[in-house]
Each structure stands twice: as structure tokens, then as C-alpha cells.
Structure 1
Amino acid sequence: METIVDEPQWLRTASWIGCPLAGAALGWFLQSISGWVASLSWVPFKGPFKLVSEIPQPWGTVTGIGVGLVAGLLFAAVWAHERLIVKVTPARITLTTKGRSRAYEAELEAVFLDGKELVLLAADGRELVRQKGDVDRKAVAKAFLDHGYPWLDEAPAVK
């Protein structure tokens, strides 16, 4: 039996919908205020705003929304690529992030979260892995405890 700790399905789905929609809204907003921003005397880098404001309508709006949509999709893709997935069994821990999976089968002295980093300490006290990720603290603790791993609620004191 394995336990998988990952972002909830609703959050993964929402990121693929929400990020592009937010990007499209931001693209529309920036395009719609570009002429006004270009007219302000104190604004640095007026060139891009002036260029955007001179795109004839409706193509200016379509372009702004399209660029924002693509930027939102890219952001969602990076988010998905960077997320940490933790799979725990009694014999193996598998950490997946950035499209790579690494499995650990060593006997462990401790497992804990140090801020947003998951840390596995080998039985000899050395740090086996320190993996950054935004995992649910309670879910990951439960996964390790359910499979008999030595979970610590906080980082141990340095020896």
C-alpha cells in the first residue's frame, strides 16, 4: 500500500483554469490603460506602453488578452512542473518534482519539514535529502507515521 501526498485535485484544476484567466484579464487591463500610462510624464519605459496603445482596435484588445492568456498558461505549467509529489510505502519513499522521481530505501533516523523543505535523515545522522516543496504538513506527517517512519514535528537540534 502506498500513500501519495500531492496538491488537491481542485487546486491543480483551478491552476490550469485560473492562471490563464487571470493572465487574460491582466493582459486586457494593461492594454486598456496603456495609452493613459504612456501619457504620464513621470513613468519610465514609456516605449512599450506607447507601442501597445498604438495597436488598432480590436486587435489591441485581442493581442493583450492573448498574450496574457499564454503567460497564464506558462505560469500554470511552471507551477505543475515545480510541485512536489511524495509517495510513501513501508519500504520506499519516492519524491517527484521537475519531472524527475527519486526513490529512497535507506533506514531513516528522522523525517521532518524544515520550513517548506522535506528532510530525510539517514540512520547514521547524515542528511539523505532536503527537497523544497509546498506540501500539506498534516498530510505528509500522517503518510510517514502511517508507514512507520520516525516523523518529527520540528527539526532536531544540531549535534
Structure 2
Amino acid sequence: MDQALAAELHRRAEQDQAARRRVCETGGAEGLARIDADNSRWLKEVVDQCGWPGIALVGEQGAEEAWLLAQHADRDPDFRREILGLLQEAVDIGDAPPRFLAYLTDRVLVAAGKPQVYGTQYTQDANGGNLRPYAVEDPAGLDARRAAVGLDTAAEYDRRMRASYAPGGK
């Protein structure tokens, strides 16, 4: 395992999450775009040098933190699509959990204006109200697709999302 790479992933993920907590607490997004852009540039370099930083390279926590940074590479859709392919390969060989692929697949689809597959991505009005999932393809098969990648039901996920992000947790 590459301890130095895992430590840097951890440092960057902590910084990412701290910035997102500040947005939730204060509503101000100062520095978030800069952090995301810096993390995206850095992760691109890692991927170019090492391939996808999966469990074998950086451990379970490091792999999750790499995935987190990839999720937040919103300003670089080409890179996220590249990661999607690398992540599929990692899932195929057991070097990343399928849920990582589900979340990133949905994020890429939503960014392209297409319906998501696993129902992991939500949106809400600018005032923080009306939390709802983005459109989902084949809603009747949603829970089966979610179960196949180790996710809980859409109803349970919706409950957690509302508890975490909706005003008053409703």
C-alpha cells in the first residue's frame, strides 16, 4: 500500500468535507470551487501515474476518499467520464465497491442532463427547500438496481437525505 498517497488522499478529503460543511452551515461557498479544481488537477496526475487509486494501492479508506474527490470533479466532466471507465475496471476486479460506480454513474448522467440509474443524486431549490431526486430511468426497477450494488432502498435513502439536507429534516 502507498502510505504517502493514502495520507494525501485523506488530507484532501478532509479539506473537501470541511469546505462542504461550511457551505451547509453558512451558505457561503468561498473556496469550494478552488478546492475542487485543485483536487481534480491533483487526482488527474495520480490517475496518469498510477491508474485508479483503488483498495490495493491506497486501502479501503483511501479508495473511498479518491472516489469522493472524483465525485466532486464537477467542473471537469471529461475527467469524470474517464474515471467512470477506470472505476468500472476497478469494480470488476474487486478493487472498488460497486456503490462507488453507482454514485459516479448517476452524477455523470445528471450532469449530462440524462436520467440517473440508481437514484443517488438530489437537487433542491435555491432557498434550500423542495429536496427531490433527479429523474430516474425505470423507476419500477430502481430498488433492484440499488440492491445489486449494495445500496439500501430508495425510500430509506430518501429518508436519510431529507433528514440530512431538507429544512427541518422533513
- The interval holding the TM-score normalised by the smaller chain is under 0.3
Write 1 or 2 for the structure with the bigger share of strand: 1
Q: 1 or 2 for the larger relative contact order (CA 8 Å, sep ≥6)?
A: 1
Larger radius of gyration: 1
TM norm structure 1: 0.25
Q: TM-score, normalised by structure 2?
A: 0.24
Which structure shows the higher helix fraction?
2
